[in-house]
Chains A and B, each alone.
Chain A
Amino acid sequence: LARGIQHTAVRQAHRKYEPNFHDKYGNLVLLGGTAIFTTVWGYVLTQLGIEWGLSPVGRITPREWRE
């Protein structure tokens, strides 16, 4: 039985499948999508000048307001 397993394992290793779209381009699509996402949203969140309305807690130093 042990030899049969070894034989089978060798034969299985020889089997080759035609690569599909995901095999050929999956990594490219994944990395490209991640790159586009991070650059666009990095820009939107920091450089574009949108007011996000973040909490003043820990961020704003209170200043005297009475005239």
Chain B
Amino acid sequence: MLASRAFSLVGRRSICTSLCLRAHGHAGVVKAEDFTLPAYVDRRDVPLPEVAFVRDLSAQQKALKEKEKASWTALSIDEKVELYRMKFNETYAEMNKGTNEWKTVLGGVLFFLGLTGIILIWQKHFMYGPIPHTFSEEWLSAQTKRMLDMRVNPVEGISSQWDFDKNEWKK
């Protein structure tokens, strides 16, 4: 982002002033025939699109195009910017600008994951039966001791996690 800002400061393209807001390119409806013609596109890898952005020039813009044929030192800054905006829609800075879209995306994702949790709540309340008695604390503690006495999974499993000398779980 810093690099694109630096480029837009030093490079040929710059942000336009309010003068340029008038001349807009393609407004509203695109006719079917237009799809056969070369199109304008704002893409980082297409620095010079096939056509200029503004297709139909007003009388004022046509006059400016005529002035452009003469020496460019005669053009004012605003005129140069106007010529730029006739040829291009967005500057590279505008094209590359990030958005806040990720907030909406992430927030939406978390919301729907929350809805999934609500489905779980419904299931537990209306669907699941009682938890089997073999999950009670007394049963689990007896079960665990029996597994350790039998040396269940001694290599990498549960018995490998128990310290048989100190009679406690390994740290």
How far does the alpha carbon of A12 sit from the alpha carbon of B8 in the complex, in Å?
9
Contact A44–B120 (Cβ < 8 Å) = yes
Contact A56–B107 (Cβ < 8 Å) = no
Contact B100–A57 (Cβ < 8 Å) = no
Q: Which of A1, A29, A60 contacts B103 (CB 8 A)?
A: A29
Q: Is B66 an interface residue (CB 8 A)?
A: no
Q: How many contacts between A and B, using CB within 8 angstroms?
A: 125
Q: Count B interface residues, CB 8 Å.
A: 44
Q: Is B93 an interface residue (CB 8 A)?
A: yes
B contact patch SS:
helix
Contact B114–A56 (Cβ < 8 Å) = no
Contact B120–A65 (Cβ < 8 Å) = no
Q: Is B33 an interface residue (CB 8 A)?
A: no
Per-residue contact bits, chain A 42-53, to B (CB 8 Å; 1 contact, 0 not): 011000111100
Q: Count A interface residues, CB 8 Å.
A: 43
Q: Is B14 an interface residue (CB 8 A)?
A: yes
Name the CB-closest residue of B to A31. B107
| Residues of chain B contacted by A56 (CB below 8 angstroms) | 140, 143-144, 158
For A5, A14, A40, A49, the residue with the greatest tally of chain B CB atoms inside 10 Å of its CB is A40
Contact A29–B108 (Cβ < 8 Å) = yes
Contact A61–B117 (Cβ < 8 Å) = no
Contact B114–A41 (Cβ < 8 Å) = yes
How far does the alpha carbon of A12 sit from the alpha carbon of B143 in the complex, in Å?
72
Name the CB-closest residue of B to A63. B141
Q: Is B27 an interface residue (CB 8 A)?
A: no
| Residues of chain B contacted by A8 (CB below 8 angstroms) | 8-9, 14-15
Contact A33–B131 (Cβ < 8 Å) = no
How far does the alpha carbon of A58 sit from the alpha carbon of B161 in the complex, in Å?
9
Binding site for B on A (CB under 8 A): 1, 5, 8-9, 11-12, 14-15, 20-23, 25-34, 36-37, 39-41, 43-44, 48-51, 55-58, 60-65
Q: Return 9 A-B CB contacts under 8 Å, by A number.
A: A8-B14, A27-B100, A28-B107, A29-B104, A29-B111, A33-B111, A36-B111, A62-B162, A63-B144
